[in-house]
Structures are given as C-alpha cells and as structure tokens.
Structure 1
Amino acid sequence: MRITVDRDRCEGHGVCETAAPELFLIDDEGDLVFHFEGREIPEEQRAPATNSVLTCPVAALKLEG
C-alpha cells in the first residue's frame, strides 16, 4: 500500500498528521511532509494511513495498492 499526495489540493489542515503522526507532518510553513513519499506504508501504519486518506477534508491523499 502506498499513498500519493496531490500537493495542489493540500491546504495544510493537518488532519492527516492527527490521524497518522508517524507518517505526516505539517511543517512551520504549513506544508505537508510525508515521510513515506514513494515508499510502501509499513503494515503497522496501514490503519492510520487509511484513516488519514478517508478524513482528508480536501481529498488530497489517495491510496494505491
């Protein structure tokens, strides 16, 4: 499982960071930092990763695989 981020859609609300703080961070400039960009999500992080995708208020995250 991977997550892709549509950076044009992301508004930096931080809902993903709340749902999966091990995967996401909103930096001091309000930009999303995704720690697993282009990589597989570890098994133990799949539930929080899925939750972050489902709760993104602007649908900037998408699950693949």
Structure 2
Amino acid sequence: MKVAVDDDRCRGHGICCALCPEVFTLNDDGYTTVEDPEVPAEHEEAVRAAADQCPERAITVT
C-alpha cells in the first residue's frame, strides 16, 4: 500500500497525525507530510482510517 498527501488540499487539521503518527507528520508550516509513501502492513488500517476521516480528502491510498 502507498499513501500520498495532496499539498494543495491539506489544511493542517492533523487528524491523520493523531490516527497514525508513525506515517504522518506535520511539517514546520503545520501541514501533513509522509516520510515514506510505502505503508508498513501494521499501519495500513490506521492509514485507511486517516484517509476516510480527512475533512479535506487530501490523502490518497493506493
């Protein structure tokens, strides 16, 4: 599974960071980044939940 965050859509709500801090982090500007787009199997469920709960629909899971 891969994950990406659309920088143009992200508004820095941080829900994804709260749900899966192992994958999502906030940068210095307060927006979400993904260090490694390859999601470890143990975090797939949390990443899907983060994508589902993102109010801006900025997270893409493939």
TM-based fold match above 0.5: yes
In the other structure, the counterpart of 2:19 is 19
Task: Quote the Cα distance in structure 1 between the aligned partners of 2:23 and 2:35.
Answer: 5
**TM-score normalised by the chain length of structure 1:** 0.84
**CA RMSD of superposed structures (Å):** 1.2
Task: Quote the Cα distance in structure 1 between the aligned partners of 2:31 and 2:59.
Answer: 14
Structure 2: segments with no counterpart, 5+ residues? none
Structure 1 residues 2-50: Cα deviation after superposition (integer angstroms, max 9, x where no partner): 112111000010000011011111134212221223xx21110111111
Structure 1: segments with no counterpart, 5+ residues? none
- How many pairs align? 62
**TM-score normalised by the chain length of structure 2:** 0.88
Q: Give structure 1 regions of 4+ aligned residues with deviation exceeding 4 angstroms.
A: none
In the other structure, the counterpart of 1:62 is 60
